[in-house]
Amino acid sequence: MKLFLQFLCIGLFSVSVLAQDRKVFFSEAVSIHVPKYKKKAQKAYREHNTKYAEFLFDSIVKNHLSGTYIDNFDINCIGKNKKCINDFKKPIYLTTYASWCVPGKGEIPALNELAKKYKDEIDFIVLFWDKKKNVKEVISDYKRFIDIVYVDELENKDAYIIRTMKHSLGFPTTFYIGSDKKIIHIDRTAKLPYTDPFENSYNLNFNNLSSGVSEILAHEEELLASTPFALN
C-alpha cells in the first residue's frame, strides 16, 4: 500500500508539472477572457472614461495575455519568402495595422530608426489586416529593415486565429514576442494629436519603441541563461 501511494503521488506530481508546462496560446486566452473585457471597455469608452478603458486593457494583458504563445498563422510577406509567423526565427516586434489607419507623424521614422539599429537581433514586422493592393499604397515610408506582411481575413485558411488576432484588442496594437514565440507584452501604439510637432511625436514613439525592444532583449537573455548549455 505504501509503495502504491508513493507511485500515486509521483503520478499526480507529474500530471501537475505537465499541466503547468503546457503552452497556452493567445487565441485560447482571448476566447476565455476577452469577451468580458470588451463589454466593459466598450461601456467605458461610451462614457468617455478613457482612463478606466486603459486600465482594463493593461489588466487583461498583464493577468491573462502576457506569457501566452503567439499562434502560428499564414501570412503574405511583401518581397520575401515568409509564409507564416513561425518562419520568423528571431524575437519579433509585431505591430498590427490597417491601411486606412493614419500613423502619428513620428511613428514610422521612429520604427525605421529602431529597426535599423536592432535588425540583427529582432525581426520588425508591420502586419496589415488588408488586401495586398491597399497595403502597397501605404508602405512607401517603411525602410527595408522592416518586414511588411498582410493578412486578408476573407482569404486566409487560418480564419479563426485571424479573427481572434484582428478583433480582440483592436489596432494599432504591438506585440513583443520572444524567439520561443512567447508573448512578453502587448502595448498600444503611442499616439499624439496630429497637430503636435513632429519632434514630440517622434520622441514619444521612439521612447515607447525602445522600451519594447528592451523587454524583448531582456527576455532573450533569460532564455539563453536558462538553456542547459548556456555559456556563463
Name the band, by pLDDT with cuts 50, 70 and 90, for residue 11. very low
Q: Residue 160 is placed in which grid cell?
A: 479563426
Tens-digit pLDDT profile for residues 61-82: 999 999 999 999 989 999 988 9
Stated pTM of the model: 0.85
pLDDT of residue 230: 52
Residues in CB range of 173: below 8 A, 6 or more apart = 95, 96, 186, 187, 188, 189
Residues 6+ positions from 37 with CB-CB distance below 8 Å: 56, 57, 60
Helix (H) or strand (E) holding 125: strand 123-128
**Contact status, residue 122 vs residue 89, Cβ threshold 8 Å:** no
What would the pLDDT profile of 99-155 be if each residue is shown by its tens digit?
Answer: 888 888 899 999 999 999 999 999 999 999 988 999 999 999 999 999 999 988 777
Band (18; pLDDT cuts 50, 70, 90): very low
Torsion over CA of 28, 191, 215 and 71, rounded to 10 degrees? 20
Q: How far apart are CA 148 and CA 192, in angstroms?
A: 24
Residue with cell 520575401: 80
pLDDT digits (tens, 9 = 90+) for 181-201: 999 999 988 777 788 899 999
Residue 157 reports pLDDT greater than 90? no
Domains, the chain, in order of start with CATH, read 72-226 (3.40.30.10)
* 198 or 228, greater pLDDT: 198
